[in-house]
Amino acid sequence: QLQLQESGPGLVKPSETLSLSCTVSGGSIGSGHYYWAWIRQPPGKGLEWIANIHYRGTTFHNSSLRSRVTISVDTSSNQFSLRLHSVTAADTAVYYCARVDPQDLAPRFDIWGQGTLVTVSS
Amino acid sequence: SYELTQSPSVSVSPGQTVSVSCSGDNLGRKFAYWYQQKPGQSPVLVIHQDTKRPSGIPERFSGSNSVNTATLTIRGTQAIDEADYYCQTWVDDTPWFGGGTRLTVL
Q: Is B28 on the interface with A (CB under 8 A)?
A: no
> What's the whole-number average pLDDT of chain A?
96
Cβ within 8 Å, pair B97-A63: no
Say whether pLDDT at A32 is over 90: no
Bridge partners (DSSP) listed for residue B55: none
Amino acid at A64: S
d(C-alpha B11, C-alpha B82), whole Å: 9
Cβ within 8 Å, pair B100-A46: yes
d(C-alpha A111, C-alpha A20), whole Å: 18
Cβ within 8 Å, pair A109-B99: no
Give the tens place of pLDDT for each residue, A68-89.
999 999 999 999 999 999 999 9
For chains A and B, what is the number of CB pairs under 8 angstroms? Answer: 48
Q: Choose the closest CB to B43 out of A47, A52, A62.
A: A47
Cβ within 8 Å, pair B43-A96: yes
pLDDT at B6: 98
Give the tens place of pLDDT for each residue, A93-106.
999 999 999 988 88
d(C-alpha A58, C-alpha A77), whole Å: 18
| Residue A61 Cα distances to A26, A36, A91, B3, angstroms | 27, 12, 16, 17
For each successive 10 residues of chain B (106 residues), what is the average pLDDT? 97 98 97 97 98 97 97 98 98 96 97
Nearest Cα to Cα of residue A51 among A84, A26, A25, A92: A84
